[in-house]
Amino acid sequence: MKSFTQVTGIAAPMDRANVDTDMIIPKNFLKSIKRTGFGKNLFDELRYLDEGLPDQDCTGRPLNKDFPLNFPRYEGAKVLLARENFGCGSSREHAPWALDDYGFRAIIAPSFADIFFNNSFKNGLLPIILSAEIVDQLFQEMYANEGYELSIDLAEQVVTTPSGETFSFEIDEFRKHCLLNGLDDIGLTLREADAIRAYEEKRQQQAPWLFGAIQPGA
Amino acid sequence: MAGKTLYDKLWDAHLVKERDDGSALIYIDRHIIHEVTTPQAFEGLRLAGRKPWRVDSILATPDHNVPTTAVERASGVQGIEDPVSRIQVQTLDDNCDEFGIVEFKINDNRQGIVHVIGPESGACLPGMTIVCGDSHTATNGALGALAHGIGTSEVEHVMATQCLVAKKMKNLLIKVDGELAPGVTPKDVVLAIIANIGTAGGTGYAMEFGGQVFRDMSMEGRMTVCNMAIEAGARAGMVAVDDTTIDYVKGRTYAPNEEQWDAAVANWKELVSDVDAEFDKVVEIDGASIKPQVSWGTSPEMVLPVDARVPDPAQEADPVKKTGIERALQYMGLTAGQNITDIAVDRVFIGSCTNSRIEDIRAAAAVAKGRQVASSVIQAMVVPGSGQVKAQAEAEGLDKILVAAGFEWREPGCSMCLAMNADKLGNGEHCASTSNRNFEGRQGYGGRTHLVSPAMAAAAAVAGHFIDVRDLTSQA
Ligand code: SF4
């Protein structure tokens, strides 16, 4: 897994509540069997004026000039500022893949939908929860200052603004540890293989019907 | 010490290990997979040289991309016209063959939407932990199981380890007591719940549906309700086990055999929240007050009773909500204060993992019988949730009633719920849909979705606009 330690970069806005995963990456693009290449279709229906097709070259498509990610000032943004309940809707991991592929490394919002929140960590994308007031302050500062950059330090759990103001955030220990070290979840769990087998053995005696095999042609 | 909730019991029974940091390893009994969220997981396994831990815990079927016309289905995978969809379905077949996973393939009569075939085949049972790379996995919670959607990395993780790294959620009880008015369905109940608590109301919680309304509800109705727990923000929704649950499971293909049956039933009867269990949050709703619901906006919480008017943003004080309403009205092409019953529908979709089971098809057919789809409606389609549902409906003659009324009768799949196949809305078209999400563009670029029950969708098809299905019945 990709690690995350420190990131400093331009902040860009996604200034609405309840941004759903269909908005982040519309279903037309879920047909890929790969993990990469989704960045050009991030927020497709908002970013472009025409309907996007899978596997299409997006360079000649008409851009929606009113959509902030198309503003030159947000080019190369690494931090996305968002509102309540970001990432609601489907479980598609294509949403964090698309954000990551576009170049975002962190998202700051007052709240996230559970599955999206969880999926982000698996891809080295850091979702940061700050209070609605602080997020609002960051939005205002960003709008007022072109080239507004935020710095994020995961080890210290702080977000620093250009004026040097700092905001600390919470993160659970296990996720922090995995993210800092880029650890592979599966490898870590397989270290517990004995515990898993012991559980299975005990459980199979108590509730054998839970171990009913799915058989072909049954 | 306080008693345990149903969720507490399911969690405790599946806890393999608690870690010092508060995360835990949870054992997964059943894993259902489909073509969209698995290719990258199989690729990951191959790259790391890993194999599934318990291959016979997995059941696969293609559903999201499969075409639903008989013509396109006739020649199986090779007949899928869209090449990108074909590759995805073919990739699932290849992966299942390579790893030895049982798959109900495209033209197997057991194929269907993942969340329909799980309970239907008995692969999903009370007391299980069930996951699938799909957020509507919560549907299975109707069985008294802990079921939730996971991402693709977790699909790979569960395949490789039979476990999920999880954190215990909080307990939320949604209690709906009283008796539903005639003509009010489980879909109306769950839409009313979402309108009440909002799309983030259940975030961080496991949601149990309790009270008289759910005790009286059929299993299929409970599935409709649990299905939409995620639309209220909760990863898992569930209903306690009772005789309705046990009767439903009995005799299904993968249900426990005779030797194990009695022990299983005794165990399942424990799967209820203790009377002295403590919930972190309780929401009470009066069942008798719920009316047929119609969503008017672009989020499942933007829903109102059919006799209401579309909201006016001028009356909303909260600025974020206010712009939300304005934006939704604009996208949906509606005017503030307009009657919901004055919204004309262009297409009607009856299907999806929310409402594509036999009771849903029966409800639609009951309304369609002896009536005609309005001439202003471009298309009204009924897409059964599985091959088994389709066969049952045909045995009851429901397909004939629907076709005679002007509906199209399709092959099973997700279809226009998310429009990954050819079934989709045109730009600006309004759709009465029995699915679960009314997000912008969900059913087709520029499409406008209104979420309703199967009876309300059929009524809209006949009237050409939204109408209280009960008015239609009294007119007949
Ligand atoms: S029917 Fe719709 S919501 Fe259900 S699994 Fe298919 S696409 Fe997802």
Q: Check residue B475 and give its pLDDT.
A: 55
The vertex-B203 CA angle with B200 and B207, nearest 5°, equals 110
Q: What is the distance between the terminal CA atoms of chain B, rounded to a whole angstrom?
A: 57
* Angstrom distance (rounded) from CA A121 to CA A127: 8
CATH number of the domain that residue A17 is part of? 3.20.19.10
* Angstrom distance (rounded) from CA A30 to CA B40: 11
B352 lines ligand 1 (CB under 6 A): yes
Q: pLDDT tens-digit profile of B243-283?
A: 999 999 999 999 999 999 999 999 999 999 999 999 999 99
Does residue A14 lie within any of the structural domains? yes
Q: Residue B476 — very low, low, confident or very high, per pLDDT cuts 50/70/90?
A: very low
- A109 and A83 in a single domain? The answer is yes
Q: pLDDT tens-digit profile of B84-105?
A: 899 999 999 999 999 999 999 9
User: How far away is chain B from the Cα of A109, in angstroms, using its nearest Cα?
Assistant: 14
- A105 and A211 in a single domain? The answer is no
Does residue A103 lie within any of the structural domains? yes
Residues facing residue A159 across a β-bridge: A152, A167
Residue A182 CA, distance from chain mean position: 16
- A99 and A16 in a single domain? The answer is yes
* Angstrom distance (rounded) from CA B377 to CA B321: 33
- A64 and A135 in a single domain? The answer is yes
- A153 and A192 in a single domain? The answer is no
Strands lying side by side in the sheet with B15-18: B15-18, B24-27, B163-166
Q: How many domains does chain A have?
A: 2
The predicted complex's ipTM stands at: 0.92
- A166 and A189 in a single domain? The answer is no
- A20 and A80 in a single domain? The answer is yes
* Helical segments of B270-334, H only: 319-332
* Angstrom distance (rounded) from CA A153 to CA A111: 20
Given a contact cutoff of 8 angstroms between Cβ atoms, the answer to whether B411 and B378 are in contact is no
Residues A115, B254: C-beta atoms closer than 8 Å: no
Does residue A79 lie within any of the structural domains? yes
B96 known member of a binding site = no
Tokens 């004995």, located at residue: A194
Residues B22, A26: C-beta atoms closer than 8 Å: no
Q: Check residue A53 and give its pLDDT.
A: 86
Does residue A52 lie within any of the structural domains? yes
B227 lines ligand 1 (CB under 6 A): no
Grouped pLDDT means (10 residues each) for chain A, 218 residues: 91 95 91 88 95 87 96 97 94 93 97 93 94 97 98 98 98 91 89 97 96 84
Residue A211, domain extent: 184-218
- A28 and A54 in a single domain? The answer is yes
- A189 and A145 in a single domain? The answer is no
Residues B320, A200: C-beta atoms closer than 8 Å: no
Closest Cα to atom 6 of ligand 1: B414
B132 known member of a binding site = no
* Angstrom distance (rounded) from CA B59 to CA B108: 13
pLDDT at B364 over 60: yes
Q: Any idea of the CA torsion for B437, B443, B449, B453, to the nearest 10 degrees?
A: -60
Positive or negative CA dihedral for B208, B212, B217, B221?
A: negative
Q: Residue B472 — very low, low, confident or very high, per pLDDT cuts 50/70/90?
A: confident
The contacts of residue B84 (CB under 8 Å, 6+ apart) are: A31, A32, A54, A55
- A96 and A38 in a single domain? The answer is yes
- A120 and A59 in a single domain? The answer is yes
Does residue A1 lie within any of the structural domains? no
Does residue A118 lie within any of the structural domains? yes
Neighbour-count burial of A6, counting CB atoms closer than 10 A to its CB (0-12 exposed, 13-18 middle, 19+ buried):
exposed
- A124 and A197 in a single domain? The answer is no
